[in-house]
Amino acid sequence: MSAEIICVGTELLLGDILNSNSQYLAQQLAQLGIPHYYQTVVGDNPERLKQVIEIAISRAQILIFTGGLGPTPDDLTCETIADFFGVPLIEDPEIIEDITEKFAQRGRVMSPTNRKQALIPQGADILPNPTGTAPGIIWQPRPEITIFTFPGVPSEMHRMWTDTAVPYLKNQGWGQEIIYSRSLRFWGIGESALAEKVAPYFNLPNPTVAPYAGKGEVRLRISAKADSETAAEALISPVEKQLKDIAGLDYYGADDQTLAAVVGNLLRLSGETLSVAESCTGGGLGQMLTDISGSSDYFWGGVISYDNSVKVGLLGVNPEDLDKFGAVSATVAEQMAMGVKTRLSTSWGLSVTGIAGPSGGTETKPVGLVYIGLASPTNEVTSFEYRFGGMRGRSLIRYVSANAALDLLRRKLVVRNS
Amino acid sequence: MSAEIICVGTELLLGDILNSNSQYLAQQLAQLGIPHYYQTVVGDNPERLKQVIEIAISRAQILIFTGGLGPTPDDLTCETIADFFGVPLIEDPEIIEDITEKFAQRGRVMSPTNRKQALIPQGADILPNPTGTAPGIIWQPRPEITIFTFPGVPSEMHRMWTDTAVPYLKNQGWGQEIIYSRSLRFWGIGESALAEKVAPYFNLPNPTVAPYAGKGEVRLRISAKADSETAAEALISPVEKQLKDIAGLDYYGADDQTLAAVVGNLLRLSGETLSVAESCTGGGLGQMLTDISGSSDYFWGGVISYDNSVKVGLLGVNPEDLDKFGAVSATVAEQMAMGVKTRLSTSWGLSVTGIAGPSGGTETKPVGLVYIGLASPTNEVTSFEYRFGGMRGRSLIRYVSANAALDLLRRKLVVRNS
């Protein structure tokens, strides 16, 4: 038994809109524990839609359609489905009444084209649309096939799914077994290196473990099938612990936790404050930190020292060292970190200076070379050199640089606290 | 002749990620005039993937795969395709060399699992991946079938598509009749207000004009169908001019031009420099400015004055005014702008202070209240009050605030130069 998602709409084939409905339905099906192996997108074309239905009923039993329920002539999902199963459409008086009333509420009269939305296959049930005019259907054209149709407007679809489809599916016995996932996040280790370390876990049957690469980071997704969230948690929890133990300091957080959030929590715990001095990230590090609501508890601010004059004037970097070592150097990174810490009177000072490219690289200092400086509460200053490689592009180099700075501070805080 | 998009990845079936690759490829196919009637999503499962290929080759001639090219065991797109067509995989020494070099650039050694990424079907051509380790292939396993594979990481896929797939397809004769679009960008006017001003243009047959609401901005997309870019340009150009004339100062740029880029060009033209003082944006304004390569010509840096002590200490804001008017006030915005301009010795100083929320709002100073200050080369200081509304959420309020600051400076520069 499995479900298939079929999104109907020429606007999807033209790339005019992003198919967020597939993602929503996929998440919902996973939560209900309904297996789902295929998603299809097809245009507003009856012949092609029929072919898609033919294929779908050969491999799935629950068919979920979105889109093509509107009042215009190109909306033909419902009539094409009825036609495929050889069942006539009939006008449903309840729907006519509902649409008439909705128009009246907005002080309008139902236009004749809207009558089309009241046509449903004989024997189908209405799937009410509380927030729009186009209702869907729940229909078993054959004993083994269940069809759901939804309009393409995401907000209407979500409401209809939650209000009607979920209770219906639970009533059919679904949702007894759910799929529950946790995503573990790692910084400072590549996908293949991490995969090698945790390779045996990829063969687990339940929970399953799978790696994927994100923007400069790697994630391991642990997914458990169980009859409740608590039971799923009990399956996930020991594996999560083992994976964290194997990864050690390379693990930094789970699910929606960013490096900035993790660092923020650690600083709040220790009652310490942070300031930043940014060159190549140009404010991006500060932005990440202040993305977190409440970050004013520990983040005091910083200096964007894009021009060397600002490094000297506002951060107290030694002009001779700037000349001698260059702005992208360990020495300057350290002086920036110490400078911002001192001037802003914070516990920690964190700095980034590098070559984000695409221009500005040299043989000895290529694009992607970045120095991160860290000044500690006891005024120890350290710096680290990173080579992110020019091929990543300016935007990603800047993103990875800011995160590498956060990761460096995170490791210091974790090691000190442990 | 048509193309089919096949996205491979269990993470798509679980709803873990949004399928933006389909939208990108759909737009690209439309631009090249390549018909495309179906999109399919399937998990990392060889048997199901083979079924999808079987169906796809019965109805399309160009098969475009994304996802499943990584180094881990669940990445099996390439080997499954080869297996389907009964062709062996061979290790390509060029790819091994390329991956080894990319690892070396980052100071790492290629791990054995990455060797897998060098396996391609015998007879297939490499589709180089300049920004990642997983290359794709271009392959004609049968005379009438062309296969492209791409990694699932969007940035890598986009680059590979543009650099290699597009020239290849154009060489095959595609892209003779093209759809060519220009997106005009507007700041400071709502979608419905702009739509009313330009309503007659929505009925044009070629080029067509359609409005889109973006993140805090409105766009008008002008799309022309023609047999060359020059012919399309000739259709678009007069309409573009008329729309710009109607919109006046609310128009700021086209296509990929950001407000930061437009402001940067204006500053470069006038040989002036800029510094920023940021409170609620926390570095986001600086980041936008430095997203532009070469911004060091006019952007010198700034101060992230998240905590009030930094406003006083580094920007010279009067502590009594801070007490009297609060950090989110016209007075403080003006002192921040003047302070950063003076301390960094730039032509212009631009400041942002506001309440990004979700907490921190009051009756008189609600979430979304933002003041922007601007200090001019002649030391005139002005400030403007914005009310972006609490419902937009922290992240969007910060984004809109930084852009509103850039827009304010843009208008000053345009008016002065005209």
Which pLDDT value is given to residue A223?
A: 92
pLDDT tens-digit map of A249-282: 999 999 989 999 999 999 999 999 999 999 999 9
pLDDT tens-digit map of B82-139: 999 999 999 999 999 988 888 888 778 888 888 888 999 999 999 999 988 889 999 9
CB count in 10 Å sphere of residue A229: 12
Whole-angstrom Cα distance, residue A388 to residue B276?
A: 28
Whole-angstrom Cα distance, residue B286 to residue B406?
A: 10
- Contact (Cβ atoms closer than 8 angstroms) between residue A95 and residue A118: yes
In the three-class reduction of DSSP (H, G, I as helix; E, B as strand; rest coil), residue B104 is classed as helix
Interface of A with B in 218-247 (CB under 8 A): 221, 223
For residue A406, the one-letter residue type is L
- Contact (Cβ atoms closer than 8 angstroms) between residue A128 and residue A164: yes
Q: Does B58 touch chain A (CB under 8 A)?
A: no
**From the list A24, A52, A303, which residue is nearest B15 (CB)?**
A24
Whole-angstrom Cα distance, residue A144 to residue A367?
A: 60
Contact A38 B36 (CB under 8 A): no
* Mean pLDDT of the region B132-160: 94
Residues in A touching B26 (Cβ below 8 Å) = 12-15
Would you say residue B415 has pLDDT above 80? Answer: yes
In the three-class reduction of DSSP (H, G, I as helix; E, B as strand; rest coil), residue B311 is classed as helix
pLDDT (tens, 9 = 90+) of chain A, 418 residues, equals 899 999 999 889 988 889 999 999 999 998 888 999 999 999 999 999 999 999 999 999 999 999 998 777 778 999 999 999 999 999 999 999 988 888 787 677 777 778 888 999 999 999 999 888 889 999 999 999 999 999 998 888 999 999 999 999 999 988 888 888 899 999 999 888 999 999 999 999 999 999 988 788 999 999 998 988 899 999 999 999 999 999 999 999 999 899 999 999 999 999 999 999 999 999 999 999 999 999 999 999 999 999 999 999 999 999 999 999 999 999 999 999 999 999 999 999 999 999 999 998 999 999 999 999 999 999 999 999 999 987 788 999 999 999 999 999 999 999 998 7
- Contact (Cβ atoms closer than 8 angstroms) between residue A252 and residue A186: yes
- What residues pair up with A384 in beta bridges, in sequence order? A372
In the three-class reduction of DSSP (H, G, I as helix; E, B as strand; rest coil), residue B154 is classed as helix
- What is the chain A residue with the closest CA to B36? A13
DSSP 8-state assignment for residue B223: E
Nearest-neighbour CA in chain B from A360: distance (Å): 9
The values of phi and psi at residue A175, to 5°, are 85, 0
Interface of A with B in 248-307 (CB under 8 A): 275-276, 278, 280-291, 293-296, 299-307
Whole-angstrom Cα distance, residue B102 to residue B109?
A: 9
Which pLDDT value is given to residue B283?
A: 98
Interface of B with A in 374-413 (CB under 8 A): 394-395, 398
Would you say residue B339 has pLDDT above 90? Answer: yes
Whole-angstrom Cα distance, residue A382 to residue A365?
A: 20
* Mean pLDDT of the region B282-303: 97
Which pLDDT value is given to residue A177?
A: 80
Residues in A touching B357 (Cβ below 8 Å) = 293
Could you tell me where the DSSP H helices lie in A189-348? 191-197, 229-247, 259-270, 284-290, 308-315, 319-325, 330-344
Q: Does B192 touch chain A (CB under 8 A)?
A: no
In the three-class reduction of DSSP (H, G, I as helix; E, B as strand; rest coil), residue B41 is classed as strand
Which pLDDT value is given to residue A75?
A: 82
Interface of B with A in 108-167 (CB under 8 A): 108, 111-114, 130-131, 153, 155
Long-range contacts of A380-387 (CB under 8 A, 24+ apart): A381/A334, A381/A337, A381/A338, A382/A334, A383/A330, A383/A331, A383/A333, A383/A334, A383/A337, A384/A408, A385/A330, A386/A354, A387/B105, A387/B106, A387/B107
Nearest-neighbour CA in chain B from A108: distance (Å): 20
Which pLDDT value is given to residue A202?
A: 94
CB count in 10 Å sphere of residue A331: 17
Please state, for a pLDDT cut of 70, what percent of chain B lies above it.
100
CB count in 10 Å sphere of residue A245: 9
Distances (CA, A) of B21 to B64, B153, B206: 11, 9, 28
Contact A41 B42 (CB under 8 A): no
Nearest-neighbour CA in chain A from B264: distance (Å): 15
Which pLDDT value is given to residue B418?
A: 80
* Mean pLDDT of the region B252-280: 97
Whole-angstrom Cα distance, residue A354 to residue A171?
A: 59
- What is the chain A residue with the closest CA to B302? A304
- Contact (Cβ atoms closer than 8 angstroms) between residue A364 and residue A356: no
Residues in B touching A396 (Cβ below 8 Å) = 155
What ipTM was predicted for this assembly?
A: 0.80
User: What band does B287 get if pLDDT is binned at 50, 70 and 90?
Assistant: very high
Whole-angstrom Cα distance, residue B122 to residue B88?
A: 6
pTM for this structure? 0.80
Q: What is the mean pLDDT of chain B?
A: 93
User: What band does B324 get if pLDDT is binned at 50, 70 and 90?
Assistant: very high
Contact B13 A37 (CB under 8 A): yes
Which of A124, A353, B337, A233 shows the shortest CA–CA distance to B329? B337
Whole-angstrom Cα distance, residue B218 to residue B212?
A: 6
Q: Which two tokens stand for residue A56?
A: 């779908």
Which residue is associated with the tokens 């759909």? B26
Whole-angstrom Cα distance, residue B209 to residue A66?
A: 27
Whole-angstrom Cα distance, residue B126 to residue B133?
A: 12
Residues in A touching B281 (Cβ below 8 Å) = 287, 290
